[in-house]
Amino acid sequence: MISFVLNRVAQAAGVLLAVGFIAFSLFTYVGDPINAMVGQDTSQQEKEELREKLGLNDPAPLQFARFIGNVVQGKFGLSYRTSDPVGRLILERLPATLELALCAALFALGVGVPLGVYTGLYPRHWTSRLLQAVSLIGISLPTFLIGILLIVFFAVILNVLPSFGRGETVKFGWWTSGYFTVAGLKALILPSVTLGLFQLTLIMRLVRSEMLEVMRTDYIKFARARGLSNRAINYGHALKNTLVPVITVTGLQLGAIIAFAIITETVFSWPGMGQLFVQSVQFADIPVMAAYLLLVSAFFVTINLAVDLLYYVVDPRLRGSTGGRH
């Protein structure tokens, strides 16, 4: 057990170190940090002095160690675009993305699981077939198109929901929250639906197929033979058995949600990390990109680690198999 945990933690650390190396290479070799700092009229000699002062002439491993040291302290350098410290830029935008991601995940789970159960229990009913078809359309429509359509319908035509931004936010220290004002909650609806829709269809399809599979097992047949009520079988036995994969997949999807927030945030002008990332890609703002990469990988690696360990706790047989996704 301990060796397994240690092994996994070591692997996670290795991944982070590798990503850190990529980020470091970007930072050091792609964006010339000197050119970003000085004006055009700086002389070559001044640039050279600056290189020396910043330690850019040191051997690469030393520079890398220094980079990691800075990152651990939250120092990611200055943005090329706004010349703000990158750490602060990202921290300012973190709450917006996390709150949106959480809402989207809750929406996907809250709607996806019941629909999945329903279509799994009554696979031949016409509503199930309809839901299946609609879910395929949901997967096929690009997120940005869904966002645009929602804006047109709910913000422009019906004029009931805001089309951009977070509405009013409340401050708790450095954290800003949109959960405590009506305007903030209203602003969350359209982006959450847009972001959660893909995951919703995914969860629905997963729960459906798990349910179909479980319902075929001897275990359920015996339960039926024992004369248990349908209700007890469906929810007490069948659903319970499908929950483990659903929870793990949802956990893994949380990372995907944070990444896909890039698109939703752009469509809704949502002031989160994703929007920041797209802007920095357009500007080739390497420090911001590097920091975002590191942060998001830290998220992913942590989530994967948690899921791996959960697997181990719940079902040792599952050890070693990770879910493939795209």
Report whether 270 contacts 191 (CB < 8 A).
yes
- Residues 205-224: x where in contact with other proteins by CB under 8 A, - otherwise, as a string: ----x---------------
Question: What is the smallest separation between the CB atom of 121 and other proteins, expressed in angstroms?
Answer: 19
Is residue 52 packed enough to be buried (19+ CB in 10 Å), middle (13-18) or exposed (0-12)?
Answer: exposed
Dig out the tokens for 177 from the structure: 């929250």
* Cβ closest to other proteins, residue 234 vs residue 264: 264
Residue 171, strand partner residues: 176
Report whether 308 contacts 253 (CB < 8 A).
no
Question: What is the smallest separation between the CB atom of 232 and other proteins, expressed in angstroms?
Answer: 28
Regarding 53 and contact with other proteins (CB under 8 A), the answer is: yes
Q: Which helix (H) or strand (E) holds 148?
A: helix 143-150
Report whether 268 contacts 97 (CB < 8 A).
no
Binds other proteins by CB under 8 A, chosen from 69, 281, 315, 319: 281
- How does DSSP assign 106-120, residue by residue? HHHHHHHHHHHHHHH
- Residues 77-116: x where in contact with other proteins by CB under 8 A, - otherwise, as a string: -x--xxxxx---x--xx-----------------------
Report whether 194 contacts 147 (CB < 8 A).
yes
* Cβ closest to other proteins, residue 183 vs residue 228: 183
Give the number of residues in contact with other proteins, rule: CB under 8 A.
Answer: 84
Question: What is the smallest separation between the CB atom of 229 and other proteins, expressed in angstroms?
Answer: 30
Report whether 117 contacts 215 (CB < 8 A).
no
Distance of CA 161 to the CA centre of its chain: 24
Report whether 209 contacts 121 (CB < 8 A).
no
* Cβ closest to other proteins, residue 37 vs residue 111: 37
Using CB under 8 A as the binding rule, the residues of this chain from 117 to 176 that contact other proteins are: 136-137, 139-145, 148, 151-152, 155-156, 159, 161-165, 168-170
Give the interface segment with other proteins, choosing from 2-10, 25-33, 228-236, 312-320 (CB under 8 A). 25-33
Question: What is the smallest separation between the CB atom of 144 and other proteins, expressed in angstroms?
Answer: 5
Question: What is the smallest separation between the CB atom of 278 and other proteins, expressed in angstroms?
Answer: 5
Listed in order, strand segments (DSSP E) in the chain are: 170-172, 175-177
Question: What is the smallest separation between the CB atom of 306 and other proteins, expressed in angstroms?
Answer: 13
Regarding 315 and contact with other proteins (CB under 8 A), the answer is: no
Question: What is the smallest separation between the CB atom of 224 and other proteins, expressed in angstroms?
Answer: 25
